[in-house]
Structure 1
Amino acid sequence: MALCCGLVSEKNVPVPLKSICVQLQVRGHVSSVRATLQYVNEEERPLEALFVFPLPAEAALCSFSASVGGQDIRGELRDKQTARDEYDDGVSAGRQVFLLEESDQSADVFRLSVGCLPAGGAATVSFTYSTELTVEEDGGLRYCLPAVLNPRYTPAAATGVPQVCSASVIPYSLSLTADVRSSVPIARLDCNCALEPLQFLDPQHTHAQVSLSAGHRFDKDVELLLYYVDPHQPSAVLEGGAATAPAGSLMADPLLMLSLYPEFPAAVMSSLTSHGEFIFLVDQSGSMDCPMHHGEGAQMRIESARDTLLLLLKSLPLGCYFNIYGFGSSFQAFFPQSVLYSEQTLQEALQRVKLMRANLGGTEILQPLQHIYSQACVPEHPRQLFIFTDGEVWNTRELLDLVRANSSSHRCFSFGIGEGASTALIAGMAKEGSGHAQFITGSDRMQPKVMQSLRFALQPAVEELCVDWRLPEGVAVELLSPPVRSLYQGQRALLYARLRGQSSAESDGAVMIKYKLKDTPVTNQLQFTLTPAGDTGLTVHWLAARTLIRGLEQEERVGGAEAEALRSRIVELSVECGVSSTHTAFICTHTHSGETVKGPLLQRNIPVPQMMACHGAPRRMMCAAPMARCSSRALPKMVCDSAMSPSRKLKSARVSHHSVPVGLVECDSASTHEPDLRQDPLLQLVSLQKASGSWEMSSALSAVLEKPEEELRKHTPPQADGLLWATVLSLLWLFSCKLQDRVEWQFVALKAAAWVRAQNQAGVAECVRNGNLLLDCQLTAETLGI
């Protein structure tokens, strides 16, 4: 259970937030979201409240307003320090004031300060943000409304103490409606929460609306998966500029958004490399000893990670190198350096995987990453880094800078485990490392998503990518998106471009994406119109501005003489486009009545919905701490210290104004949870495969096949040895009994088929015939790839 150490009201109600209303507009591959939050001060004294909440890391926060006493107040973007000073001055003067800002440490966390609500007073705040929809492995477009702000572990060397808003009870409700429009028909819309029936508003099924069912409790992320007919169709959206924007500004010019799905040659994509150095970095912090979801039969996160490592290790090709690191407050490497993949090293690694526990304390990714990058790469074996974590860190920007600084030496594939994993961290590491990010939430299985990323890592990399424009005379283009450094089969690339000038004759343009795959030149072309399609809003402009701002923020963090000039440019662009940045904040001040709020000011933290992951587990507790509003106020000693081992006790610390978000302080002690030795038959079969790709006849294999070992041995073809017979049987079982899980065992089967072909034995055909009779199936050698 959670220990609530923070301030609560006399009625034991810690929150003045009453409701959240979300209106979602989807236009093709992007969305615009308007959220409205209603506050009521039920205290007997004036109130100052702080609400910390997550948003997608790449979201463009583009408007903020408040309504007090029937008067609407539009927020204005200011330099962040100026806005903070204005907020503090307003609170001191007793004015009702609101401040909305992005965290200094992580781009996916925002904080809303609500100042000077009088006793019995009410206020409504609204903000709007735009974001790109992420592409899932099945072609669906994912929108996530995050309800969970996971504990963000702060390394001991960092200043400040992470804090929590405990939410064992979430006393506010959520309503959500979605309006979807597309140039192609909408196939369906799925959700992890109960929805009202989807309503199509036109015969072509290109316009639909849906809403959450009444009575929804905001106790988990809301995930919508949108499926279009022919989802890989490239598209272009031309958005007209804002009529009120100054001429020549970014917001005044038309912007083009290209959605590209490169089609790679099948012959090239079918060839998987046998080279590479594969490094697996696995979170073993205490928070990994939590369930993957809150339904029945949920695995613990560390158990799912162990099963996934088994599949990964068995799927690696012969001839590669590999290593595994576990990390928490410290880190451990399986081998001093990456080792050649062989039966001996595979078995040694598997034995250590079985012993992995969520017992390494807090979550510090920085040190193991620094160590990995300090290791020399294996010549002729491109480094592929796989990172598994539930994303509970707070030095996000420092980590991303490290990955970016080493981007030329590796590709980074990241996996966010469980609801609330930081999108800034998970998506950011993959983006900076030219890899791919996956999020495993709800009842998702980790293994299929990880196997998709492994396929990306084994496929040829895109080289010499360039963008070539074909525009009529008089029209110029400026590409606003950074260079595309990685492309994978089935993945989408969104590009933003600014158009200037106009043509009196032609009204169409074209763009060509050119690159090389394994020395094979490839060209993808897309045509588009130069005439905006009516009132398209400003979503594309906001996202393009956010792209430019993010790029400038990265340049600024590199430092150097240009840092101050870059900071000024960020603030200028942010204010000009109305899109927040790390250096700006929205400020609203209510001065209508001219009256000041009098009396002592109470402080309240508004809890973010928090998944209480380890219900009833006495070894882990979650503690709440109040936010210090002034640098002269110190945080109280955490009452959970006595429950922790001496090495993990938290120290009281002073927190400067606006320095640390409300997060979760976890009191991790060594986990005593034993691994679940029960495996499904697929994992049992995979665990029996040798590094070479073969199986041998054994009682364990017969148990998976559900046939007596004596019967299996009796039907061994005369021209086949035991290894060949066992391997063909295993392939037959996979294709006949586990075809629906093929994405998980595809590389296991490819390696087995390659081994069978290499044996060049005459008994293969008879093995297939006898196996079909034993397992009651009808498969051919061609189907098995042998």
Structure 2
Amino acid sequence: MITEITALRPEECEPVPGAGLGALVTDRGNLPLESVEVTAGVCGLAAGVEVVQTFRNPHEVALEATYVFPLPDRAAVTSFTMEADGRVVEGVLKERGQARADYDQALAEGRRAAIAEEDRPDVFTIRVGNLVPGERVTVRLGLDQPLPYEDGAATFRFPLVVAPRYIPGVPLDGDRAGDGWADDTDAVPDASRITPPVLLPGFPNPVRLSLAVSIDPAGLDLREIRSSLHVVQEEGHTVRLRPDERLDRDFVLRLTFDASTSLALVPDPEDGSQEGTFALTVVPDPAQVTGRAKDVVLVLDRSGSMTGWKMVAARRAAARIVDTLTGGDRFAVLSFDTVVEWPEGLGEGLSEAGDRNRYRAVEHLARLEARGGTEMLAPLEKAAALLTSDKRDRVLVLVTDGQVGNEDQILERLAPRLTGTRVHTVGIDRAVNAGFLSRLAGLGAGRCELVESEDRLDEAMEHIHRRIGSPLVTDLTLEADGLDPVPETVSRPGSLYPGVPLVVRGRYRGAAEGSLAVRGTDASGHAWERRVAGSLTDSPATRAIWARERLRTLEDRYATGDHLLEEEIVAVSLRYGVLCRFTAFVAIDSRVVAEGGPGHHVVQPVEQPSGWGYPVPAAAPMMLAGMAAPASYGGAPLPPPAPVAAAPRAAAPGAFPKRARAAKPAPAAPPASPQLGDLVAEELRGLRAAASLPAADRRRHLEDLAGRLAVFALSLGGHAGLEALVARLRAGGDLEILWRETLEGLEALGRTGKRRSFWRR
């Protein structure tokens, strides 16, 4: 028997009144974010980008909408505007606490306002308040970003979704910093700001996406344009996404052309300015290098978020790295989720890289499956502890998707341990945490390689193979001739690798003329030099890209414990007009449109990243609150769903609900590695205990203290407060005065660590 199925008329399939989650229509209306438009212009090895987000209020009361979204981790955000009701309001860059206070006051007064904040190098939050019923508000972000170049190809990468991140640590008491699904913890104090709600699988596409990239080769020979993820349409040198693409993965465009050695000099735009920015690019000559024996520690993430193709790619990548080792090398392989595992038969130390040991390691890797949480700090600390030999090249390789929230904690704990170690990171995901992985690689003067598909893996691993090998030239220094660089503004030259241009940016004083010489030592131990003459260039992006790079360096030093840098970070951000984690753009309309402020708050949910199956892996089990979930996933038990608490900010339709704050578990064990606050507290206790000793012993105590503080400052990559105290101690003088000033100096350093976190100000 055959039964014909006919379509219902529209009036026959209206949802029942009061329908909620999963219905076609809800009494809350549609989501506030209507569209995202990205327009990029690539010129040589830089890109200028405009991001346009349109919000609409479908409710009957004034609305505040919050959207957590990604941007390229190396991009410099330089402008912000709000448009509504025919009015355009330019955003002003201010210290973050002041910008928030101005925004909150404007909302309370009934004025329309918008604020843009950075929570991670690649995670940003926009809030738009006092949208009146039916109104559309458009916000525009302007940014500049450099394009990494390697082996004859530049890459333009634009992320489109914030992937769920594993949040370790003990939940904090008190109010949350944001409105995400995760509790703030001692390891991730702003976890609730970087964990936006996630759309349920199968929810209709709620946001219109438009993305176009125009390409100007800038005199270079452009031979090929490739897009590795999205289907594109090419019109001349303009590439566009086809309609109906979702915001669930990174957009990646690769441009094949030849780069060239150059020194670009860009004077500041202000009239009469005697300063400017330079960008030095040195393209290495092809060469074969025979390097020293090396110690290599490979750390592989096997947590639940690595499920599917990512785990397959990670195993292949790790095995390829092991296969590149030679008999004179030593190595170790660590795999981790909530525990750390070692290959059977190799032990928990470095092993000779002979055929048998390499086979054991590859066999171990082939058996790994995704499971559990992403407890990344412990395996990285174990890896760093293995790399101590000064007679060998020391290399640490991390293979992961990087989806953790405690980036600052990891950087702070690892920074003192990675001196002299090259750190390479391999990020495997279609929505990878590129910001964290590039910061970690930067700590060890290494490289970050991103793999967004299995097709890209072989090409990426060729790059990693060369990086694990010895560099072409080491111990690089710069010498100026006729150009006056400002030393503290110049990025570290690092080393020169095959196929990877050396890029150094900085500021200069005086006329835009002269040259720079790059000197170092090649693989055979001979002196190496390359001299590059400067050329005057009109490239406003150069200044913004340098400022973003400078801010990233300062922020990473802040994350490793140097909290005295806060004022310098804010000053650099405001002077050069580039957004950072200590500042915010705020746009406030003068017109009153909503008496009493917004009556409704909605946090825009984000897409589940492409390739992440249901249920969401153990990277974010808390998003499953209020939903039926299997008892385990990938071999790791999931916690039972937590009850959903009523919240002042509404859960958007089609999104995972927010969960109630979890009960606070027992305190965690104290960290094992030194931190500035711990060090200061310990030295204060020792100083006070020694106050009654004879004068000679007290003076020796101060001499020893100066040595310990100097070593710790060095491990942090420099620390102004510690260095000033060391200088005072070494200057000597009256013992009682010196003792008192040392106490006061340590107490001042201790107070810097107790300031209110900048994301809460």
Aligned to 2:187: none
Aligned residue type for 2:521: K
Instruction: Give CA-to-partner distance per residue, 1:510-564, whole Å, 9 cap, x none.
Output: 22211102312211222222x44xxx3521111122222223323434446xx44
Q: CA deviation at 1:355?
A: 2.1
Give the count of matched residue pairs.
603
Question: Hey, what's the Cα distance between the residues in 2 that align with 1:495 and 1:576?
Answer: 21
1:522 partnered with 2:520: no
- CA change 1:589–1:617 in 2 (3 A) is closer
After TM superposition, give the deviation of residue 180 of structure 1 in Å.
2.8
TM-score (norm 2): 0.73
Counterpart of 2:279 in structure 1: which amino acid?
M
Structure 1 counterpart of 2:351? 339
Identify which of 542, 545, 548 aligns with 1:543: 545
Q: What does residue range 684-723 of structure 1 map to in structure 2 within 5 Å?
A: none
Q: Which residue of 139, 143, 150 maps to 2:163?
A: 150
Q: Secondary structure at the match of 1:196?
A: strand
Structure 2 CA distance for partners of 1:460 and 1:222, relative to 1, 3 Å: closer
Mark the runs of 5 or more structure 1 residues left unpaired by the alignment: 200-207, 291-299, 626-635, 668-786
Kept in 2, the 8 Å contact 1:465–1:514? The answer is yes
Q: String of CA shifts for 1:564-583, please: whole Å, max 9, x gaps.
A: 4x212221221121111111
Identity percentage of aligned residues = 23
Give the 5 Å matches for 1:67-466: 67-103=83-119, 106-136=120-150, 138-157=151-170, 159=172, 160=183, 163-167=195-199, 168=201, 169-181=204-216, 182-192=218-228, 193-199=230-236, 208-228=237-257, 231-243=258-270, 253-263=275-285, 266=287, 269-273=288-292, 275-290=293-308, 300-334=309-343, 335-359=347-371, 361-375=372-386, 377-378=388-389, 380-460=391-471, 462-466=473-477
Amino acid in structure 2 at the alignment position of 1:184: L
Distance change (3 Å), C-alpha of 1:649 and 1:450: farther
Q: In the alignment, is the contact (CA less than 8 A) between 1:513 and 1:525 conserved in 2?
A: yes
SS at match of 1:86: helix
How far 1:332 moved relative to its partner? 1.7
SS of residue matched to 1:197: strand
Question: Which secondary structure state, in structure 1, belongs to the residue aligned with residue 312 of structure 2?
Answer: helix
The one-letter amino acid of 1:197's match is: E
1:753 corresponds to which residue?
Answer: none
The whole-number CA distance in structure 1 between the counterparts of 2:542 and 2:552 is 15
Q: Is the 8 A contact 2:403 2:619 kept in 1?
A: no
Distance 1:619 1:440, change over 3 A: closer
Q: CA deviation at 1:390?
A: 0.9
Query: Residue 275 of structure 2: SS of its match in structure 1?
Result: coil
Matched position secondary structure for 2:586: strand
Using the TM superposition, give the Cα deviation of residue 50 of structure 1 relative to its aligned residue in structure 2, in angstroms: 0.9
- Relative to structure 1, is the Cα distance of residues 133 and 650 closer, same or farther in structure 2, using a 3 angstrom cutoff? farther
**Is the Cα contact below 8 Å between 1:287 and 1:358 reproduced in 2?**
yes
Retained in 2: the 8 A contact 1:166–1:624? no
SS, match of residue 419 in structure 1: coil
Q: Partners of 1:215 and 1:353 in 2: how far apart?
A: 38
Structure 2 letter corresponding to 1:176: L
Distance 1:102 1:540 in 2: 21
Deviations 1:113-152 (A, max 9, x none): 111211111100000111111124x421111111121111
Other-structure match for 2:652: none
Q: Which residue of 1 aligns with 2:600?
A: 602
Q: 1:41 to 1:7 in 2, by over 3 A?
A: farther
Q: In structure 1, what is the equivalent of residue 556 of structure 2?
A: 554
The correspondence of residues 468-617 of structure 1 with structure 2, limited to 5 A, is 468-471=479-482, 476-478=484-486, 480-502=489-511, 509-518=514-523, 519-529=525-535, 531-532=536-537, 536-559=538-561, 563-564=563-564, 566-592=565-591, 594-598=592-596, 601-615=599-613
The 8 Å contact of residues 614 and 620 in structure 1, kept in 2 or not, is answered as no
Q: Give the drift of 1:211.
A: 3.2
Contact 2:36 2:53 in 1 (8 A): yes
CA contact (8 A) 2:295 2:395 kept: yes
Please give the alpha-carbon distance, in whole angstroms, between the structure 1 residues aligned to 2:590 and 2:621. 38
CA 1:492–1:609: 2 relative to 1, 3 Å: farther
Query: Quick check: 452-461 or 418-427, which moved more?
Result: 452-461
Q: Deviations over 1:345-365 (max 9, x none)?
A: 234323322321112x11121
Deviation at 1:367, TM superposition (A): 1.3
Amino acid at match of 1:60: A
Closer/same/farther in 2, CA of residues 436 and 508 from structure 1, 3 Å limit = same
- Cα drift, residue 653 of structure 1: 11
CA distance in 2, matches of 1:302, 1:177: 32
Alignment partner, residue 467 of structure 1 = 478
Superposition deviation, residue 606 in structure 1: 1.5
Distance 1:608 1:170 in 2: 11
Mapped contact 1:262–1:524 kept (Cα < 8 A)? no
Q: Relative to structure 1, is the Cα distance of residues 140 and 646 closer, same or farther in structure 2, using a 3 angstrom cutoff? A: closer
Q: Which amino acid aligns with 2:593?
A: E
Secondary structure in 2 matching 1:380: coil
Structure 1 residue 216 displacement after superposition: 4.3
Once residues 62 and 56 of structure 1 are traced to their aligned partners in structure 2, the CA distance between those partners, rounded to angstroms, is: 13
User: Structure 1 residue 449: deviation in Å?
Assistant: 1.7
Give the whole-Å Cα distance in 1 for the aligned partners of 2:656 and 2:509: 48
Cα displacement (A) at 1:307 = 2.6
Q: Which whole-Å CA distance do the structure 1 matches of 2:436 and 2:352 have between them? A: 30
Q: CA deviation at 1:25?
A: 1.9
1:579-658 aligned within 5 A:
579-592=578-591, 594-598=592-596, 601-615=599-613, 638-639=626-627, 643=631, 648-649=639-640
Aligned residue for 1:186, secondary structure, equals coil
Any idea what SS the aligned residue of 2:609 has?
coil
In 2 relative to 1, CA 88–410 (structure 1 residues): closer, same or farther, beyond 3 Å? Answer: same
TM-score normalised by the chain length of structure 1: 0.70
What do you get for the CA RMSD once the two structures are aligned? 3.3
Call closer, same or farther: CA 1:189–1:460 in 2, change over 3 Å: closer
Q: Contact 2:220–2:259 at 8 Å: present in 1 too? A: no
Post-superposition shift, 1:464?
Answer: 2.3
Give CA deviations for 1:273-298 in whole Å, capped at 9, x if unaligned: 4x2112110111011113xxxxxxxx
Deviations 1:713-760 (A, max 9, x none): xxxxxxxxxxxxxxxxxxxxxxxxxxxxxxxxxxxxxxxxxxxxxxxx
Higher mean C-alpha deviation, range 517-526 or range 410-419: 517-526
Q: Indicate if the aligned counterparts of 1:396 and 1:424 stay in contact, CA closer than 8 A.
A: no
**Partner SS for 2:38:** strand
Compared CA separation, residues 55 and 654, structure 1 to 2 (3 A):
farther
User: Which residue number in structure 1 is paired with residue 664 of structure 2?
Assistant: none
**1:757-772 matched pairs, under 5 angstroms:** none
Residues 399/463 of structure 1: CA separation in 2 closer, same or farther (3 Å cut): same
Shift of 1:111: 0.5
Matched-pair contact (CA < 8 Å) for 1:99–1:113: yes
CA distance, structure 2, for counterparts of residue 432 and residue 656 of structure 1? 40
